[in-house]
Chains A and B, each alone.
With several copies, the nearest count.
Chain A
């Protein structure tokens, strides 16, 4: 699709870094605050970690597809895997307490939900699960130091 950046790769954690590099390159062009850029990058890594681990079960024959797109004043990311999905409505209603150090896992969706302006899940028939992340883009305030 025109105006979008798409990255597709086998379900191996080693590509998380590639995703991060591409995400940062795309974000860099947006002229947004460093803090917001961080929140987007962190959330994308969480969504892709889940796609590799829970969606594709680290099966290298199955790809993860990440799509980056600007829509008006929103930065949108879609992460697609080839898995069966999960009962996200149920999970979203009972997100575990992230401060509970008795649990080592279960913070990814909490982080995405709290760092992004919108988090949606969708099953793509015949394909897999799609996670949709959106962040409103406020232009960078004066005096904000750009890190790069």
Chain B
């Protein structure tokens, strides 16, 4: 899993590439989220466009990012969620937790709306 970070209108966009499946990925992610908070930023969009698949351990990594941001007074939202990842969100009802977007500008704007 590779993570690249960029910013748009004060929102951090994390572009992921590969498979999100736990193991070493969890540590990398944890560090990324703590860095983001330390820099005083708390609005994160995770772009899953480059993610082939994810397992429930990978979903745990996203949840960890979500709770970290929420506790910091921010939020984590998902962009470009494939059918396959969508199925996992639905069956676990985590779709009630994660706001999902198909369009980057809309994902970013959703933070500015409120």
B54 vs chain A, min Cβ distance (A): 9
Total inter-chain residue pairs, C-beta < 8 Å: 74
Q: Which of B39-91 contact A (CB under 8 A)?
A: 52-53, 55-57, 59-61, 63-64, 66-67, 83-84, 87-88, 91
Which of B59, B67, B84, B94 has the largest number of chain A CB atoms within 10 A?
Answer: B84
The reply to whether B92 and A16 contact each other, CB–CB distance below 8 Å, is no
The reply to whether A20 and B53 contact each other, CB–CB distance below 8 Å, is yes
Chain B interface size, under 10 / 10 to 19 / 20 to 34 / 35 or more: 20 to 34
Given contacts A16-B21, A38-B83, contact A99 B93 (CB under 8 A): yes
Task: Choose one: A20, A34, A49, A111; the contact of B88 (CB below 8 Å).
Answer: A111
Q: Binary interface profile of A, 1-19, with partner B (CB < 8 Å = 1, else 0)?
A: 0000000000001001100
Q: Which of A49-84 contact B (CB under 8 A)?
A: 49, 53
Which of A20, A45, A49, A98 has the largest number of chain B CB atoms within 10 A?
Answer: A45
A42 vs chain B, min Cβ distance (A): 6
- B residues near A35, Cβ cutoff 8 Å: 83, 87
A123 vs chain B, min Cβ distance (A): 23
- B residues near A45, Cβ cutoff 8 Å: 21, 53, 55
The reply to whether B92 and A105 contact each other, CB–CB distance below 8 Å, is no
Name the prevailing secondary structure of the B interface residues.
helix
The reply to whether A108 and B84 contact each other, CB–CB distance below 8 Å, is no
- A residues near B96, Cβ cutoff 8 Å: 99
How long is the Cα–Cα vector from A39 to B84 in the complex, in angstroms? 8
CB of A104 closer than 8 Å to a CB of B: yes
How long is the Cα–Cα vector from A102 to B92 in the complex, in angstroms? 14
- Using A45-B21, A108-B55 as known contacts, list a sample of 17 further A-B pairs with CB atoms less than 8 Å apart, ordered by residue number in A: A16-B21, A17-B19, A17-B52, A34-B83, A38-B83, A41-B84, A42-B87, A46-B55, A49-B56, A49-B57, A98-B91, A102-B67, A104-B63, A105-B56, A105-B57, A110-B92, A115-B91
Which residues of A pack against B, CB within 8 Å? Answer: 13, 16-17, 20, 34-35, 38-39, 41-42, 45-46, 49, 53, 98-99, 101-102, 104-105, 107-108, 110-111, 114-115, 147
Which residues of B pack against A, CB within 8 Å? Answer: 19, 21-23, 52-53, 55-57, 59-61, 63-64, 66-67, 83-84, 87-88, 91-94, 96-97
